[in-house]
Amino acid sequence: MDKTQQTAQKERFIGLEWLRFALGLYIVIFHTLHTYPSISDWSHYVTDIGFFSTSTFFVLSGFLLTHVYLDERRQLREPARSFWIKRFSNLYPIHIGSLVLAISMSALIGYLAITPEDADMSWRFVLYDVNNDLGETPDVLKHFMGNGELALNLVLNVGLLHAWNPYYLTFNPPSWSISALMGFYLVFPWLAPRLFRLRRVGRALVLTNLLYLIPPLIVIAMTDFGMPETGILHRNPLIRLPEFVAGILLCVWYTRYRAAGGWLSGGQRLMLTFFVAICVLLAVWLLGHGHAWYYMLHNGLLLPAQLALILLATQWRTPESRRVRRLASRLGGASLPMFALHVPLFVIFTRIERVIVGDPALCTSGFRACFDAAGDSSVLFYPLYLLLMVLFCVMFQEQFVLRVRNAMQRWLLPKVGSPPSHTEKVAR
């Protein structure tokens, strides 16, 4: 391996850390900003393509794992069992922590009933994954799990298998993405080395994109956009696997490009930026022309733009300041907790906000009177929520997830005593 290839192998992708953080922050905005009626006239332009964030994160995960875990011979640098345990121990504390928080929050908020809709809040409540094209009323779409469904979905959630439920989302809906990631990790040790041996990477990327578009085309042609097909398109790990595969292939191309001394010029970076911007604007416009476009954009049509965005982020040169590098690493490391925790944290924040803007003085004489006097949420407080949410997720990652992860690895991999390297931290 020549010096150029060694340099590429050891690259520290600070730009990808910032990108991970930005993707996490955008998915938070996607799931929360639309709840403010005062800005409903324009907020959907900001949140319409929130799915772009999750898809890009899946592609990015494939890229980073390939960069980190394949050695100079393009083989997995450790046994598959070790890889799976490390990946599982990175994901599982986030998932279980968010699951416990979501269930506790639902029970508490339902009991306190600060707002009229809180009375219906329950951790037995499920969220159907449909776009309501079937003319169903909100009452029809409301459903609470019976004891059998509850037991089944608890098992699925504890086993990190809930992304395979195509009918509805349970407990903490955004956590399906963590379940899907674990599904990707299971095939990575077999898949990545084989993809790295491909000679025509560009052709493989085009074929991957075309294969990814087949399921939404089938759904558009043969169904009414109901269940379970929408849930399958949304989160089934096999259906979403092409995004992860595309990330692996992008890393293969990038590694060879850097080994040949390649680096994008300013003009090339500007063209990629323009391409991503045009794709996003076009996607927002197409979403207003029927749900068929939603499924196409959600499952494959935006994949070239996601690849371009990640390639752009790799061109961010590592800054000299250790403080900047440390900040990027901490914020990037908090991206998965942001994906998993933002919904329960938002519900908690808005309920506290409503009590504060109401008549909090009544709390000294009785909480019920204080809750009944609660006011309305205001978008003016939204920046405060974003700040507190980010700070909480950084602390959650560093003080809870890393400690539990290290304990799990000491237990499951007793012979692996060395702390994780920088590249392993990047792959989190």
Write the pLDDT tens digit of every residue in 45-83: 788 889 999 999 999 999 999 999 987 778 888 899 999
Q: Which of 119-133, 334-348, 354-368 has the highest mean pLDDT?
A: 334-348
Average pLDDT, the chain: 86
Q: Give me the number of domains the chain comprises.
A: 1
Of 366, 188, 257, residue with least CA distance to 5? 257
Separation CA 395–CA 375 (nearest Å): 30
Query: Residue 296: which H helix or E strand, with range?
Result: helix 291-296
Residue 41 and residue 289 in contact, taking contact as beta carbons nearer than 8 Å: no
Note down the domain range covering 145. Answer: 3-426
Residues 363, 114 contacting (CB under 8 angstroms) = no
- Closest among 8, 51, 23 to 309, alpha carbons compared: 23
120 or 27, greater pLDDT: 27
Question: Two tokens at 234?
Answer: 């949304």
Helices (runs of H) and strands (runs of E) counted in the chain: 20, 3
Residue 175 in tokens: 């956590």
User: Please, what's the b/e burial string for 361-390 (b: 16 or more CB within 10 A of its CB; e: otherwise)?
Assistant: ebeeeeeeebbebbeebeeebbeebbeebb
Positive or negative torsion for Cα 180, 186, 189, 194:
negative
> Residue 19: which pLDDT band, with cuts at 50, 70 and 90?
very high
Side chain identity at residue 88, one-letter code:
F
- pLDDT tens readout for residues 291-342: 889 999 999 999 999 999 999 999 887 776 888 889 999 999 999 999 999 9
CA distance 191 to 211: 16
What's the helix, strand, coil split of the chain in %, to 5?
Answer: 75, 5, 20
| 135-139, 140-144, 366-370, 397-401, range with the lowest pLDDT | 135-139
What are the structure tokens assigned to 293, written together? 């476009």
| Residue ranges of E strands in 1-156 | 125-128, 143-144
> Can you tell me which residue has the tokens 């059998």?
148
Per mean pLDDT, which range of 87-101, 130-144, 203-217, 231-245 is the poorest?
Answer: 130-144
Residue 76 has phi, psi (to 5 degrees) of: -60, 130
